[in-house]
Structures are given as structure tokens and as C-alpha cells.
């Protein structure tokens, strides 16, 4: 019993370490990719090809003074970044990134746990993450932060609906909400991107809006609001928001890879490599979109969410259920 608990703790530590490293290097990749897309070089100075840049950035942020402005609501102000970061990281508890394998006669389960309501758990946690944004904007006592957090909450609540509805289609096909079950349901046959292509597109758009990234980065519109909800934050608290944003991108990409691209399924290469490749493809797509598209206006954003995506997702759910009912 004790050994099992120890193993789980070790697994959690490994997953979080790898995730944070991935988050750090995603910032490097983002600057590099967007730089090259704008015919620039991106970071080159710190280390070979700028590879030590994220570490330098992290050290800089840790070494900075942690300023708490006078008029903030202190407890809420301190809790908000934690509320952003912790749900983003804990969503990885149910992400199955590799299949079970046998090592020295022991059955090793690489992912942390397989909850039978995995997808629901991830969706719930991503909603909890919104509270971090709302609280940070409210507690900062600054009009820009407040506007940013109001926009953010409106946006996340609208797009959460479309995202959940888009995920219902694959759930109906798989007949389970467990992420491992969904992965195994796609093992031999088609990946769900083929029968559920509409849901895939809706999910992709909603996911980008959900994580507040370009072209839906209204809450952090540098041109209008100074930086959005985290404008009053500095040092480690700012770093937490930053990590939370990228960790959320990873969560959303992993869900997309599992639900629509069949998770660890794939020929020749081992399962874990396939999973990482799919997730990295989605992450690259994020950066690609950021380098390409301008930001939407806020009314356009809300109109797209409510008038286009939600009806399409609902129609997709209805059609999928009818087809599944007829076939079974």
C-alpha cells in the first residue's frame, strides 16, 4: 500500500516536472516559430540557438521583487494565481499519455490515474481555472485588470458550452467518458476526426478561445487593456499566470489529441511518441494561428460563440445520437 502511494507520488512529480519543462520550452518555441514566420530569428543570444532563454526568463522572474499594490484585496490577490495554475496542472492527472507496459515482470501504468469520468473532470477543472482570472481582475483594483477579467469570464463561459457540446459526439461514439476508454475505442478503427470532423473544428475554435490565445486573446489585448487581468502582478505570481496559460494549452491539446486523433494509437512508433507528436502538432497550430490571424472584436467573438458554434455543435450532437442509435 505504502509502496503504491510512493509510486503515485513519484509519477505525479515526474509528470509535473516534464509538464513545466514543456511549458518553459513552449515559450521558447513560440518566440522562435513566430520569429521565423515574420522572417526574424527569434531568441538566439542565451545558449545555443537561444535554448537557455526560458531558464533565463524564469530566473529573472524569480529574482524580481514581488510587488503587492496598496489597494488590492490581499488574500484574493494572492489566491488568484494559485487558482489559475493548480487546476491547469491537476488536469494532467487523468491524461493517458501511454499504454500500460511490462517492465521486469511488473505491470507499469505510466499515467497517474484512469478516472471513469476523466473528460468531465478536465472540463470541470478548466472551469475552475476561470475563477483565477476573475478573482485576479477583481482583486487588483485596477480598471484594466477588471475589464480584462470581465471579458475573460464572458468568453470562457460562452465557449465552454460549445466545447462541451463538441466533445459529446466522440463520447457518444466511444460510449464512455473515461479518456483511456476513448483512446482504446479508437484503437483498431478510425480516429474520431473522420466521423466527427465538424465537432473537431468546433472544438478547435472553442479550445483556442477557452485558453485566451490569439486570435481570441481579448482578455490580454495589449493594445486596448495594458495586459489584461494580470496587469498588477509581478515576479512569481506573474510567472504562475504565464505557466497556467501554457499548461492550459497543453491540456486542451492533449484532449484534442486523445479524443479526435486517437491518443497513443499509431503505427510503428511507440505509443508515447505518437501522443507527444499529436500534442506538439496542436501546440504548433496554436503558434501558427497566432502568427497569422488578427484579433477579433469582442462582439464578433461573442456572436461567433453563441450564434455559430453552439448551434453547429448542438446539431452535431443530435445527428450523431441518431446515427449511433440506428447503428446499435
Partner 1 sequence: MKNIFDTIFFTEIFQGLGVTLKHMFKKPVTVKYPYEESPIYKFRGIHYMNVDERGVSKCVGCYLCEKVCPAECIHIETDAGPNGERLVRKFEIDLSRCIYCGFCEEACPKDAIHMSDRYDTVDSTRDNYIINMRYMVENRKNVKGE
The footprint of partner 1 (CB under 8 A) covers: 33, 35-41, 44, 288-289, 291-293
CB of 166 to partner 1, least distance (A): 16
* Structure-block grid coordinates of residue 116: 471513469
CB of 178 to partner 1, least distance (A): 32
Q: Which is nearer to partner 1, 122 or 209 (CB)?
A: 209
Q: Report the alpha-carbon distance of residue 273 to residue 267 in Å, rounded.
A: 11
3-state secondary structure of 197: helix
CB of 28 to partner 1, least distance (A): 16
Q: Which stretches within 65-224 are classed as H helix?
A: 74-90, 118-139, 143-174, 179-185, 197-210
**149 near 219, Cβ under 8 Å?**
yes
Q: Looking at residue 98, what DSSP letter applies? A: S
Q: Which is nearer to partner 1, 279 or 304 (CB)?
A: 304
Q: Which is nearer to partner 1, 56 or 291 (CB)?
A: 291
Q: Which is nearer to partner 1, 41 or 124 (CB)?
A: 41
CB of 32 to partner 1, least distance (A): 10
Comparing CA positions, the residue from 322, 309, 323 lying closest to residue 167 is 309
Q: Which is nearer to partner 1, 126 or 206 (CB)?
A: 206
Cis peptide before 215 (omega within 30 of 0): yes
* Structure-block grid coordinates of residue 37: 514566420
Hey, which residues does 106 pair with through a beta bridge?
Answer: 103
**Residues 6 or more apart from 138 whose CB is under 8 A from it?**
73, 76, 146, 149
CB of 219 to partner 1, least distance (A): 22
CB of 259 to partner 1, least distance (A): 21
* Structure-block grid coordinates of residue 276: 507527444
Q: Looking at residue 124, what DSSP letter applies? A: H
CB of 211 to partner 1, least distance (A): 18
**251 near 126, Cβ under 8 Å?**
yes
Q: Which is nearer to partner 1, 42 or 262 (CB)?
A: 42
Q: Report the alpha-carbon distance of residue 170 to residue 272 in Å, rounded.
A: 22
Q: Which is nearer to partner 1, 119 or 312 (CB)?
A: 312
* Structure-block grid coordinates of residue 274: 505518437
Q: Which is nearer to partner 1, 44 or 113 (CB)?
A: 44
Q: Report the alpha-carbon distance of residue 134 to residue 128 in Å, rounded.
A: 10
CB of 85 to partner 1, least distance (A): 31
Q: Which is nearer to partner 1, 42 or 228 (CB)?
A: 42
Q: How many other C-beta atoms are found inside a 10 Å radius of the C-beta of residue 268?
A: 6
Q: Which helix (H) or strand (E) holds 2?
A: helix 2-37
CB of 260 to partner 1, least distance (A): 17
Amino acid at each position: 500500500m505504502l509502496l503504491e502511494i510512493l509510486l503515485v507520488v513519484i509519477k505525479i512529480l515526474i509528470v509535473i516536472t516534464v509538464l513545466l519543462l514543456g511549458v518553459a520550452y513552449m515559450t521558447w518555441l513560440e518566440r522562435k516559430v513566430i520569429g521565423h514566420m515574420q522572417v526574424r530569428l527569434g531568441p538566439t543570444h542565451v545558449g545555443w540557438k537561444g535554448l537557455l532563454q526560458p531558464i533565463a526568463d524564469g530566473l529573472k522572474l524569480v529574482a524580481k521583487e514581488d510587488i503587492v499594490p496598496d489597494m488590492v484585496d490581499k488574500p484574493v490577490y494572492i489566491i488568484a494565481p494559485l487558482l489559475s495554475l493548480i487546476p491547469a496542472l491537476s488536469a494532467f492527472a487523468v491524461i493517458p499519455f501511454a499504454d500500460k507496459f511490462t517492465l521486469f515482470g511488473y505491470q507499469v501504468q505510466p499515467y497517474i490515474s484512469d478516472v471513469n469520468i476523466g473528460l468531465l473532470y478536465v472540463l470541470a477543472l478548466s472551469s475552475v481555472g476561470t475563477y483565477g482570472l476573475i478573482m485576479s481582475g477583481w482583486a487588483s483594483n485596477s480598471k484594466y485588470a477588471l475589464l480584462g477579467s470581465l471579458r475573460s469570464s464572458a468568453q470562457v463561459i460562452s465557449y465552454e458550452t460549445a466545447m462541451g457540446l463538441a466533445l459529446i459526439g466522440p463520447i457518444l461514439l466511444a460510449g464512455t467518458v473515461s479518456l483511456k476508454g476513448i483512446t482504446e475505442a479508437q484503437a483498431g478503427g478510425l480516429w474520431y476526426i473522420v466521423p466527427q470532423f465538424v465537432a473537431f473544428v468546433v472544438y478547435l475554435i472553442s479550445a483556442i478561445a477557452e485558453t485566451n490565445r490569439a486570435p481570441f486573446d481579448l482578455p490580454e489585448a495589449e493594445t486596448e487593456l495594458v495586459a489584461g487581468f494580470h496587469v498588477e502582478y509581478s515576479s512569481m505570481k506573474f510567472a504562475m499566470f504565464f505557466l497556467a496559460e501554457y499548461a492550459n494549452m497543453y491540456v486542451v491539446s492533449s484532449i484534442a489529441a486523445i479524443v479526435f486523433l486517437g491518443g497513443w494509437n499509431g503505427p510503428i512508433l511507440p505509443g508515447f511518441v505518437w501522443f507527444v507528436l499529436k500534442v506538439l502538432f496542436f501546440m504548433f497550430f496554436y503558434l501558427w494561428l497566432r502568427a497569422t490571424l488578427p484579433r477579433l472584436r469582442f462582439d464578433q467573438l461573442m456572436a461567433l460563440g453563441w450564434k455559430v458554434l453552439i448551434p453547429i455543435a448542438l446539431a452535431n450532437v443530435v445527428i450523431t445520437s441518431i446515427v449511433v442509435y440506428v447503428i446499435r
